[in-house]
Amino acid sequence: MTDEHELINFCCEELEDAVSSDPEDALIEHDSGLILLNLGHREEGGETGIVLATIRFCPFCGTEIQTDEDIEAALGAVETHD
Ligand SMILES: [Zn+2]
């Protein structure tokens, strides 16, 4: 069996193992191809949502995995709220 990762070149096995498409996990591979850090649930205005933060550097080995430009480009492709 071979595992194929088409969107992201992982810098290390720790990151590859940690990133999941499950939105409940701590590190999430977003539809845009970005890796997002899940900061947990936050209740705001009576609604509970998941707070996500973009990260530039791998939390395990410190490699830059996505630049500000990557993040902006990916987020620009996603509809944002004003
Ligand atoms: Zn790494």
Distance CA 20, CA 38 (A): 11
Cα of 56 from ligand 1 centre, angstroms: 11
- Residue 37 vs residues 19, 24, 27: alpha-carbon distances, Å: 9, 11, 5
Cα of 46 from ligand 1 centre, angstroms: 37
Q: Give pLDDT, residue 3.
A: 54
For 7-18, what is each residue's pLDDT tens digit? 567 999 999 999
Cα of 15 from ligand 1 centre, angstroms: 5
Distance CA 23, CA 29 (A): 9
Q: Inform me whether the pLDDT recorded for 25 exceeds 70.
A: yes
Counts for the chain of helices (H) and strands (E), in that order:
2, 4
Cα of 52 from ligand 1 centre, angstroms: 19
Confidence band for 5, pLDDT divided at 50, 70 and 90: very low
Q: Give pLDDT, residue 30.
A: 86
For 31-79, what is each residue's pLDDT tens digit? 888 999 999 989 989 999 889 899 999 999 999 999 999 988 888 876 5
Distance CA 34, CA 8 (A): 8
